[in-house]
């Protein structure tokens, strides 16, 4: 085996690590055991603190493929060490995204190795796959009698499972459906029919149970972790030394302080873990409806969901148990659990473009406007007649957005503050001073022929005086008190050591309106452009002479507002601009939508008092035609929600009775101006914009375009965000 067999996992990601393979060595284990006995357990303690020493002293190097133990080291500035045991599971196939029929191979087949498909990125998402004696695996094996089981090697680290891939000769993580790198059209074409029960159970072996399991450590584990801190070990050493020197009172005081601080700390940490567990598991297990490949609808527990399942979103909403991409219908979602934003957002179905026509690979970040994230609350759905609101599961468990958030809480990155570096440097200086005093005391005592026992006790006593043993107890007491104060404000922390650094904070920076300022915005005024020049600014758009202008039509239609329980809801800026027009928004009810072959558009119309007087109805006119001709309503045919990358949003709308449709856009002034015809942009545009921004105003630009008559109602839904 090559000494340079060093693997790199999670390459290019935040959790990138170097991996080395090791195999347990019996004679080294025996030698270490003998050393532990000779040192009274101190060697075992040292190996606990230094995992790299533990592995290198008990194992021999081998290839990553044959490893029984893996030693990992992060590539960031902290260079932390981790170790993990490699385990083996038996599965009735080698690739979770292949059908079992195509993978039933003999043991000698070259395709019996895991993850033989290079297009499918292997491996696991932090759940417990069934072991070799698991009943689901055995059940699947019995269904495929000609199957020869495949051994799959994996290890677990930070609630994530890494599986060995023969294809790339490395351990990799299986995230979900994105590992196939499917294009948007492929998801619509190949992944909207659902999975059979066999396929679901088979994928469950690799992806595990769809559950974000926050394990609450036992009191014993927490106690060991707390007590084996180097400071407490030094404190124990000091107490033993003082007792030998008959210095009982201070020793008892230190022991009492330490016991109280450890007990209090354990109680607090245990309680924080329990609260985090309860918070994460709330609404995590629900009953969901999924589509089967035979077009049946089956109700299952959310814990059984796997990537590729097609989930039916109920009309009355639900708490999402996974990450899923919407493939039909529209949803109103509250994402405050993930983003902190209390304003509901509209999620539209994933665009289904023809292959080659802007058909990009699906990505949860790039297509977040079409993705329902785990833990978010679906408030409402809008659907097509005879067609359910469906979403394809793309991620489950710890791979979901909620799972990643929980992992960041459970396994926080170390803090690299100057205060910590200075504190450790200060302790090293104290140790150096203690070492000098220790040597000086020994030399002086030997010269004066002091007894050996006295020399040892007095020399070691210098170290306990220089490095204060009461420091851990004092710090723990302060941290516990701080935690109690935080708890009163509903703030919880399972990494108490980070609280100390908060004492050094002297500046907070907030980036959201409503944190330091008042909630919401007020419309200061509007300034229209006609004939390539600015009009004088006006206080509002609620005027009779503006009611049929394209400017007001854009304000009334270019938004993502919706009605929730009869109340308008959406982005505060959209809400304020719409309210300034005085217009009325009407959405089709479920009953109205079910009568048509597509989602009925949202309609906006001005109040009657702003419209010109209606002509009298003659006796020859039909009442319905008369009402239709006199009505002034605009239907919002398609929304392109705001994109931070594009810095704009737009809608396609049509005025009642008109054959051609209109496109309305709003966004950052510079972006909107760059997309307009040069001859329509005022020459002093930049100067006027700069003047407003210097005064502290938030400036939004609006634009309009008349669309070609050949663009039909049916073609609009096929257009994508980047094309508007």
Q: Which residues of 428-460 are buried (b: 16+ CB within 10 A; e: fewer)?
A: eeeeeebeebbeebbeebeeeeeeeeebebbbb
pLDDT of residue 560: 84
pLDDT of residue 713: 58
pLDDT of residue 104: 45
Catalytic (active site) residue 511: yes
- Phi and psi (nearest 5°) for 288? -130, 155
Contact assessment for residue 302 and residue 288, using Cβ atoms and an 8 Å cutoff: yes
**Measured between alpha carbons, how far is 169 from 172 in angstroms, rounded to an integer?**
9
| Domains of the chain: residue spans and CATH | 7-85 (no CATH), 241-276+413-504 (no CATH), 529-613+623-723 (3.40.1110.10)
* CA nearest to 532, candidates 634, 676, 373: 676
Based on C-alpha coordinates, what's the Rg of the chain?
33
Between helices 452-466 and 418-447, what is the axis angle to 10°?
160
> How many helices and strands in the chain, by DSSP H and E?
21, 29
Q: If the chain, 724 residues long, is cut into consecutive pieces of 10 residues, what is the mean pLDDT of each piece?
A: 70 89 92 90 88 91 91 89 90 76 43 39 41 48 60 90 89 90 88 88 89 88 84 83 83 85 84 86 84 85 92 88 90 83 81 66 87 90 75 93 89 73 78 83 83 80 75 74 81 73 76 57 84 82 78 90 80 86 80 54 82 55 46 84 84 86 92 91 91 88 87 58 51
* CA nearest to 462, candidates 438, 496, 489, 431: 438
Tokens 């999924």 sit on residue: 290
DSSP conformational letter for 292: -
pLDDT of residue 712: 64
pLDDT of residue 614: 57
Tokens 């719409």 sit on residue: 578
**Measured between alpha carbons, how far is 529 from 704 in angstroms, rounded to an integer?**
11
Please pick, among 296, 511, 519, 522, the residue that the annotation labels catalytic. Answer: 511
Its pTM stands at 0.74
**Measured between alpha carbons, how far is 555 from 558 in angstroms, rounded to an integer?**
6
Query: How many residues would you count in the chain?
Result: 724
* Cα atoms found within 13 Å of the Cα of residue 4, Cβ hemisphere only: 0
């Amino acid at each position: 085996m090559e000494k340079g067999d060093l693997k790199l996992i999670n390459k290019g990601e935040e959790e990138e690590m170097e991996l080395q393979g090791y195999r347990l060595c019996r004679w080294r284990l025996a030698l270490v055991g003998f050393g532990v006995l000779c040192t009274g357990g101190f060697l075992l303690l040292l190996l606990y603190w230094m995992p790299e020493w533990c592995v290198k002293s008990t194992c021999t190097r081998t290839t990553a493929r044959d490893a029984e133990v893996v030693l990992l080291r992060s590539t960031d500035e902290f260079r932390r060490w981790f170790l993990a045991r490699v385990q083996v599971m038996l599965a009735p196939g080698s690739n979770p995204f292949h059908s079992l029929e195509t993978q039933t191979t003999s043991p000698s087949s070259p395709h019996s190795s895991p993850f033989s498909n290079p297009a499918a990125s292997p491996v696991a998402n932090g759940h417990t796959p069934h072991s070799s004696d698991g009943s689901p695996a055995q059940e699947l094996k019995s269904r495929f009698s000609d199957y020869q089981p495949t051994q799959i090697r994996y290890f677990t680290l930070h609630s994530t499972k890494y599986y060995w891939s023969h294809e790339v000769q490395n351990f990799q993580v299986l995230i979900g459906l994105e590992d196939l790198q499917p294009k948007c059209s492929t998801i619509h074409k190949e992944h909207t029919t659902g999975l059979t029960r066999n396929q679901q159970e088979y994928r469950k072996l690799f992806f595990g149970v769809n559950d974000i399991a926050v394990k609450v450590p036992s009191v014993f584990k927490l106690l060991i972790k707390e007590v084996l801190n180097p400071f407490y070990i030094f404190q124990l050493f000091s107490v033993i030394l003082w007792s030998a020197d008959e210095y009982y009172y201070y020793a008892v005081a230190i022991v009492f302080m330490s016991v109280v601080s450890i007990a209090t700390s354990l109680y607090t940490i245990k309680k924080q873990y329990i609260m985090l567990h309860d918070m994460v598991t709330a609404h995590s297990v629900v009953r969901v409806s999924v589509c089967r490949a035979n077009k049946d609808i089956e109700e299952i527990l959310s814990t059984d969901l796997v990537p590729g399942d097609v989930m039916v979103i109920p009309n009355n909403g639900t708490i999402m148990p996974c990450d899923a991409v919407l493939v039909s219908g529209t949803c109103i979602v509250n994402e405050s659990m993930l983003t902190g934003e209390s304003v509901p957002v509209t999620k539209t179905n994933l665009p289904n473009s023809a292959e080659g026509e802007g058909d990009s690979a699906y990505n949860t970040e790039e297509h977040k406007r079409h993705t329902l994230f785990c833990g978010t609350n679906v408030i409402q759905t809008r659907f097509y007649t005879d067609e359910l609101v469906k979403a394809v599961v793309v991620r489950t468990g710890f791979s979901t957005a909620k799972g990643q958030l929980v992992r960041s809480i459970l396994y926080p990155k170390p803090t690299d503050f100057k205060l910590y570096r200075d504190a450790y440097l200060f302790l090293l200086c104290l140790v150096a001073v203690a070492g000098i005093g220790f040597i000086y005391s020994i030399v002086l005592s030997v010269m004066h022929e002091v007894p050996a026992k006295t020399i040892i006790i007095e020399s070691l006593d210098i170290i306990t005086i220089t490095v204060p043993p009461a420091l851990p107890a004092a710090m723990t007491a302060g941290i516990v008190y701080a935690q109690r104060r935080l708890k009163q404000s509903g703030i919880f922390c399972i990494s108490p050591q980070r609280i100390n650094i908060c004492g050094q904070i002297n500046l907070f920076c907030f980036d959201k309106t409503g944190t330091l300022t008042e909630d919401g915005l007020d419309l200061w005024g509007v300034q229209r452009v006609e004939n390539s020049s600015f009009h004088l600014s006006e206080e509002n758009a609620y005027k009779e002479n503006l009611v049929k202008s394209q400017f007001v039509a854009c304000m009334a239609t270019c938004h993502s507002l919706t009605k929730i329980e009869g109340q308008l809801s959406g982005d505060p800026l959209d809400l304020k601009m719409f309210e300034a027009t005085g217009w009325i928004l009407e959405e089709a009810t479920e009953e109205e939508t079910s009568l048509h072959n597509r989602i009925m558009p949202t309609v906006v119309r001005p109040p009657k008092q702003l419209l010109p007087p209606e002509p009298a109805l003659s006796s020859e006119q039909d009442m319905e035609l008369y009402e239709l001709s006199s009505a002034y309503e605009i239907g919002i045919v398609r929304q392109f929600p705001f994109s931070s990358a594009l810095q704009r949003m737009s809608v396609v709308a049509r005025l009642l009775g008109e054959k051609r449709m209109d496109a309305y856009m709003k966004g950052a002034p510079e972006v909107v101006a760059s997309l307009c015809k040069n001859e329509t942009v005022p020459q002093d545009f930049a100067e006027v914009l700069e003047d407003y921004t210097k005064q502290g105003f938030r400036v939004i630009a609006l634009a309009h375009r008349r669309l070609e008559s050949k663009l039909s109602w049916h073609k609009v839904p096929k257009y994508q965000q980047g094309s508007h």
